Amino acid sequence: MNSFSSGGVEIAYIDEPPQVAGDGQVPSEQSPMLPILLIHGFASNHTVNWINTLWVKTLTGAGRRVIALDNRGHGQSAKLYEPADYETEKMAQDAVNLMDHLGIPKAIVMGYSMGARIAAFIARDYRDRVDALVLGGLGDRLLQPAGLPSGIAEALEAPNAGTIRDSMGRMFRNFAESTKSDLRALAACIRGSRQHLTEAEAAAIECPVLVAVGTMDLVAGNGAILAEHFPDGEFFEITKRDHNQAVGDRTHRAAVLEFLESIRED
């Protein structure tokens, strides 16, 4: 992976050029389409969220330059242990700093779960840098102050997963262990990244927005309600998928490709 310093925090990332059928890879600057920036979810990383689920292959195959980072505290990026280091605005700044580092003035931004929250904050604070927004695995929890249950942090700090009684806390702990994450860094992250958008802030995001949530997702909140708060929002229902299954669902990928083909890129 590549890496760069985002305000002193080392951030790892990949930068994949588009694919052209029959001609292999081409330099990204030859692609007429805007690049897409992918932001993964809590306790995940760019590989688990975007490569293993075939998103990178799908998007580069559709002619996109794809950039995906490991959020601070995750994957190969720097691990920090103070909740204040994980405020959503700071993680959004990391993503924008990466765009600056790569000389990308504007991109399509796509996030899943916590990554969708970060993506929405980028659109709120840097609206001239975002051409379109794809929010997966996040519904109207984006507009709720509570965010994910704070008990997830305690679950991450438990001596072992077997002692955790809360089902959601146990799910996140098991997932964090499966991705070989730094549990202490993730506990700080869940405590620090609880910021939300107001309804007025969502209404001020004027770019096209696709919201996609699984019908069995108990984490995201209501995706249809969230989509209604954006002036140019639409909702895609990922049928029979929970929070972990929905991200790589084939119909999810197809819906995003259709959405990208429908928008006019500036």
Query: How do residues 137-171 score in pLDDT, each as one tens digit?
Result: 999 999 998 667 778 999 999 998 889 988 889 99
Whether 202 is covered by a domain: the verdict is: yes
Whether 19 is covered by a domain: the verdict is: yes
Domain range holding 96?
A: 2-144+183-262
Query: How do residues 191-212 score in pLDDT, each as one tens digit?
Result: 999 999 999 999 999 999 999 9
Whether 156 is covered by a domain: the verdict is: no
Whether 162 is covered by a domain: the verdict is: no
Q: CA 186 to CA 161: how far, in whole Å?
A: 15
Encoded tokens for 260: 């990208």
Is the pTM above the cut of 0.75? yes
| 67-76, 111-120, 127-136, 153-162: range with lowest mean pLDDT | 153-162
What's the number of domains the chain is made of? 1
Whether 167 is covered by a domain: the verdict is: no
Provide CB contacts within 8 A for 167, sequence distance 6+.
none
Q: The domain spanning residue 22 has which CATH number?
A: 3.40.50.1820
